Amino acid sequence: MKKRSFTDLFFLLFVVYIVLPVAATMLYAFADKWNKTILPEGLTLKWVMTLFQDPAFIQAFGRSVLLAGGAVIVALFVIVPAIFVIVLYFPKYEKWIQATVVMVYSFPGIILAVGLIRVYSKFGISMILVVLGAYVIGILPYIYQGTRNSLRNVDARQLLDAAQLLGASKMQAFTRILLPTVYPGLFAGALLSFSVLFGEFVLINLVVGSRFETVQIYLMKKLSTSGHIASAVVFVYIVLMGILTFIAAKVTKKTKGATNV
Amino acid sequence: MSKRQAFIWLSPFIVLVLLFFLVPLLYMLITSFQSNGAFTLQQYQTVLTNSYILQGFKNSITLSVVSAIIALIVTLFAVYAIMNFSEPMRERILILTNLTSNFSGIPLAFAFIVLLGNSGLFTLLFDKWEIGVLSSFSLYSWAGLLLIYVYFQMPLALMLLYPIYDGIQQQWKEASALLGASTWQFWMKIGIPIILPGVVGTFSVLFANAMGAYASAYALTSSNYNLVAIRIGSLIKGDIFAQPELASAIAVLLAVTMVLAMLLSEWSIAKTRRKL
Q: Is the pLDDT of residue A260 over 60?
A: no
pLDDT for A157 equals 80
Nearest chain B residue to A130 by CA distance is B20
Instruction: Give pLDDT, residue B21.
Output: 96
Cβ contact A82–B12 (<8 Å): yes
What's the whole-model pTM score?
0.90
Q: What is the end-to-end Cα distance of chain B in Å, rounded?
A: 46
Closest chain B residue to A119, measured at CA: B24
Contact A135, A113 (CB under 8 A): no
- B31 touching chain A per CB within 8 A: yes
Q: Which amino acid is at A90?
A: F
Q: For chain A, count helices (H), then strands (E).
A: 13, 0
- Among B32, B93, B75, smallest CA distance to B205 is for B75
Would the pLDDT of A100 be above 60?
yes
What is the secondary structure of A81-141 as a DSSP string?
A: HHHHHHHHH-GGGHHHHHHHHHHHHHS-HHHHHHHHHHHHTTTT--HHHHHHHHHHHHTHH
Between CA B131 and CA A58 the distance in angstroms is 43
Residue of A nearest to B100 (CA): A18
pLDDT digit string, tens, across residues B177-225: 889 888 888 888 888 888 888 899 999 999 999 999 999 999 988 777 8
Contact: A7, B16; criterion CB under 8 Å: no
The answer to whether B77 contacts A6, with C-beta atoms less than 8 Å apart, is yes
Angle at B158 between CA B275 and CA B121, to 5 degrees: 135
Q: Rounded to whole angstroms, how far apart are CA atoms B249 and B202?
A: 27
Mean pLDDT, all residues of chain A: 87
- Cβ atoms of A204 and A212 closer than 8 Å: yes
- Write down the ipTM of this complex: 0.88
pLDDT, residue B247, reads 94
Average pLDDT of A152-159? 80
Cα(B96)–Cα(A245) distance, integer angstroms: 9
pLDDT tier, B139 (very low <50, low <70, confident <90, very high otherwise): confident
| pLDDT band for position B161 (cuts 50, 70, 90) | very high
Are A199 and B214 inside 8 Å of each other by CB?
no
Average pLDDT, chain B: 88
**B3 contacts on A by Cβ (under 8 Å):** none
Q: Indicate yes or no: CB of A13 within 8 angstroms of CB of B78.
A: yes
Quick one: pLDDT at residue A1?
44
CA dist., res. A216 & res. A135, Å (int): 15
Residues ≥6 apart with Cβ < 8 Å to A236:
A48, A51, A61
Bigger pLDDT: A142 or B121? A142
Query: Looking at the predicted structure, is the pLDDT value of residue A3 above 60?
Result: no
Evaluate whether A135 touches A197 at the Cβ level (below 8 Å).
yes
Predicted confidence at residue A28, as pLDDT, reads 86
SS (H, E, C) B134-178: HHCCCCCCHHHHHHHHHHHHHHHHHHHHHHHHHCCCHHHHHHHHH
Which chain B positions have a beta carbon within 8 Å of A127's beta carbon? none
**Residue B132 binned pLDDT confidence (cut-offs 50, 70, 90):** low
Please compute the mean of the pLDDT values over residues B97-102 and round it to a whole number: 86
Q: Which of A245-249, A252-256, B205-209, B241-245 has the weakest average pLDDT?
A: A252-256
Long-range contacts from B11-19, C-beta under 8 angstroms, 24+ separation: B12/A78, B12/A82, B13/A78, B13/A79, B13/A81, B13/A82, B14/A82, B16/A78, B16/A133, B16/A136, B16/A137, B17/A100, B17/A137, B17/A140, B19/A133
Q: Which of A53-67, A96-110, B55-69, B121-135 has the lowest mean pLDDT?
A: B121-135
Say what the pLDDT of residue B116 is. 86
* Residue whose C-alpha is closest to residue B217's, from B116, B142, B111: B142
Q: Highest-confidence range of A190-204, A214-228, B181-195, B234-248, by mean pLDDT?
A: A190-204
Q: Which residue of B has its CA nearest to A223?
A: B110
Average pLDDT over residues A99-121: 92
Interval A161-173: pLDDT, tens: 888 889 888 788 8
Judged by DSSP in three states, B36 sits in: coil
Residues 138-177 of B with CB under 8 A from A: 150-151, 154-155, 158
Beta bridge partners of B34: B39
